[in-house]
Structure 1
Amino acid sequence: MRRQRMAGERLRSSAALAVIVAPAAVLFSISPDLAPVETSEPVVQVAAAEVAPAAEAMPAGVEIIAAPAAFAWNSSAVPAAAPEVTSAQLVSASRWRADTRSLMLPKGVATEHGLQVKTILAARAISDTFPEIRSIGGVRADALRWHPNGLALDVMIPNPGSAEGVALGNRILAYVMKNAGRFSVQDVIWRGTYYTPSGAQGSGGYGHYDHVHVTTHGGGYPTGGEQYFR
């Protein structure tokens, strides 16, 4: 009886071992000829550094079966990323904005209400270039249409009878004539002489000894979105 009981226990132990070993033999093999097992469930690939400590106890020569090709990463399914903006491009854009701001003409000493755009440009440019000028007249009542229509400026010269005042008026005249196309200049009057972009057209009897008179072709009235540049 004792021998029979021992034989029965050995038989049950062998059957239990077979139950454990058989499934493992399906998944693992020390043979290099084992083909990947098809499965409908995604196989998660784990980096070597992330393998659980228990994996270190695997028998030597056992492979982790790779995911089937059906689950391979498809890079074409991922939308292309937006182009990377480099720091150099950001700096370049920042410099462009800074340069643009530095080129913009601030409002000068002239009252711009009622002035047309080319007249405003001339007034701002004269104020910016000649900080000695403290007053520039614009729209006012007059028998002629130039001032009432926002086409004319009176650039008032400090101490106009002094050598310094005359020299300053001469420099403003030269500056306006140099920029006649940009300011759309019609004429300039200074110290009795009438000038057009072609040069002096007549002298004597024109007055304007205390200010430089500048007339433009206007360019239309501002709409509010204009920017004026040096």
Structure 2
Amino acid sequence: MRMQAAVHLVFPPQCLSCDALVTTDFGLCARCWRETPFIAGLTCDCCGMPLPGDDPGHAVQCDDCLAIARPWSRGRAAMLYRDNGRRLVMALKHGDRLDLAKPAAGWLHRVAAPLLAPDTLLAPVPLHWLRMLKRRYNQSALLAGALARRTDLPHCPDLLIRARNTRSQEGRDREGRFANVADAFKVNPKRLWQVQGRPVLLVDDVMTSGATLAACAESCLAAGAARVDVVVLTRVAKDG
């Protein structure tokens, strides 16, 4: 405690999103907190999208999840992909802000807690090895690892393999997104023993259509997973 206090005297804690001083490490200042669209209240049980109204006391789903058969069981999202939520994801994904994984794990844990069982296996959505060479790290693996440490649950960073280097999902409509990732993932043959008969929690940074997570979930279920749930740091919401 004394060492930490001394460090804070020399290097006062700063906001994760700006240079403002804050009282604790890995915190947001008041302004950035207001600009961060954390998800709370009634949400879709399948994808984490916020919904209007009060909690009816049973699971509800958004229009998209009623229209699309999701291969996973339940899903949660910590924040919406806009304003400071988008800035934080972009900083983690493209800005080498690996330090964001630790506080993000706390935000993920807040929403993912109902999905976690003692034997849940945490696994990230994988990058293709060519993209990994370019980026040097997988932001989803950082999130999954930090969440595993926080929850003391097993983490398998290479459970899934991206079998082909899919093109970016940006600019594609829903059908195009699902077609782009069809058969793109498989369970690592060396990890089959870890997935069979147990629940899996897939971790990713952003969910838009859910196509990537669906492809990953289908691979886990085909390999014998008892159940697959998903949690994402941010959820893209439709305008209007």
The two structures have a TM-score, normalised by structure 2, of 0.22
Higher relative contact order (CA 8 A, sep 6+): 2
Larger Rg: 1
